[in-house]
Structures are given as structure tokens and as C-alpha cells.
Structure 1
Amino acid sequence: MKNDFEEKMADIMIGEAVTALLDEEVAISWAALTDRLRSAIEHETDEDRIRAGLRAIEEVRREMRLRDGEKSGLGRAAGPTEQKLH
């Protein structure tokens, strides 16, 4: 049950981070998203949101590795932090 809550909260935090980047008209990249999530939990006091934020960062990193693996199979040189999501 707790994992479901953390997973939903992580998804919410990713959505909040993406929305903030869009509102600021910042190019959305893996690096920008990860930085935004780190910033979000830096001053957070709610333990549930901190755990969810850490989980969200891990999800983004996992996706970065997965995408990088797919790209490297195609012979592209751009790293995952260089890729734009939007």
C-alpha cells in the first residue's frame, strides 16, 4: 500500500516539475527535470514527499539509462542529458 502511495506521489512530483519547467519556458531535458526534482526536495520537510521525490529522481535516472541504451544501439553520440524531452 505504501509503495502505491509513493509511486503516485512520485508521479505527481514529476508532473509538478515538468509544469514548473514549462511555466518558466525552460527546455525540458532529463538534466533539467532531475535538477528540478532535487530542488523540490531540498527544502521539503514532509518525509513522504522527500521519499517520493527521491523515487521520482530514481525513475527519471532509470528512464535516462534505458533511453541512452536504446540510442547507443542506434549509434548516436548525444548523451541522455543532452536530449530534450519537449
Structure 2
Amino acid sequence: MKNDFEDKMADIMLGEAVTALLDEDVAISWAALTDRLRSAIEIETDEDRIRAGLRAIEEVRREMHVRNGEKTEGKRVAALTEQKLH
């Protein structure tokens, strides 16, 4: 039950961060999103929201690593394919 609450709170924090960036007409990026979440938890006083913000930052970092891994793997496959064709 606690994990569901924490997951929902993390999603809410992510949504708030994205909405704030869009309202400010800032380009959405991994860095901008994590910076916005960090700023939010620095001024936050509610412990549940602080934990949710930290969890959201970890989710963003995990997603960054997954996406970067996919790009790296794709480049390796393309390089190998290119080598085999020549």
C-alpha cells in the first residue's frame, strides 16, 4: 500500500515539474527535469513529498541510463553492421 502511495506521489511530483517547465516555456530535458525536482524538494517541508521528489529523481535517472544504454547499443550495432558491409 505504501509503495502505491509513494509511486503516485512521485508521478505527481514529475507532473508538477513538467508542467512548471512547460509554463515557463523551458525545453524539457533530463537535466531540466531533475533540476526542477531538486529545486522543489529543497523548499518542500512535507516529508512525503520530499521522499516522492527523491523517488522521482531516481526514476528520471534510471530512465536516462536506459535511454543512453539503448543509444549506445544502437551505435555499436550500427558500427558492427557498417564494418561487416565494407
TM-score, structure 2 length as denominator? 0.86
Q: Give CA deviations for 1:1-48 in whole Å, capped at 9, x if unaligned.
A: 111101000000000000000000000000000000000000100000
Instruction: Report whether the alignment pairs 1:29 with 2:29.
Output: yes
CA–CA separation in structure 2 for the residues paired with 1:75 and 1:22: 31
- Look up the SS of the partner of 2:44 in the other structure: coil
Separation (CA, whole Å) in 1 of partners of 2:43 and 2:22? 21
Secondary structure at the aligned position of 1:74 is classed as: helix
Q: Does 1:52 align with 2:63?
A: no
**Structure 2: 5+ residue stretches without partners:** 77-86
2:4 maps to what in 1? 4
Q: What runs of 5+ residues in structure 1 fail to find an aligned partner?
A: 77-86
Give 1:75 deviation, angstroms. 1.8
TM-score with structure 1 length normalisation?
Answer: 0.86
**Structure showing greater relative contact order (alpha-carbon pairs closer than 8 Å, 6 or more residues apart):** 1
Alpha-carbon distance in 2 for matches of 1:10, 1:46: 13
RMSD: 1.1
Structure with max Cα Rg: 2
Structure 1: which 4+ aligned runs deviate by more than 6 Å?
A: none
2:30 and 2:8 map into 1 onto residues whose CA distance is 20
Report which of the two has the higher share of helix: 2
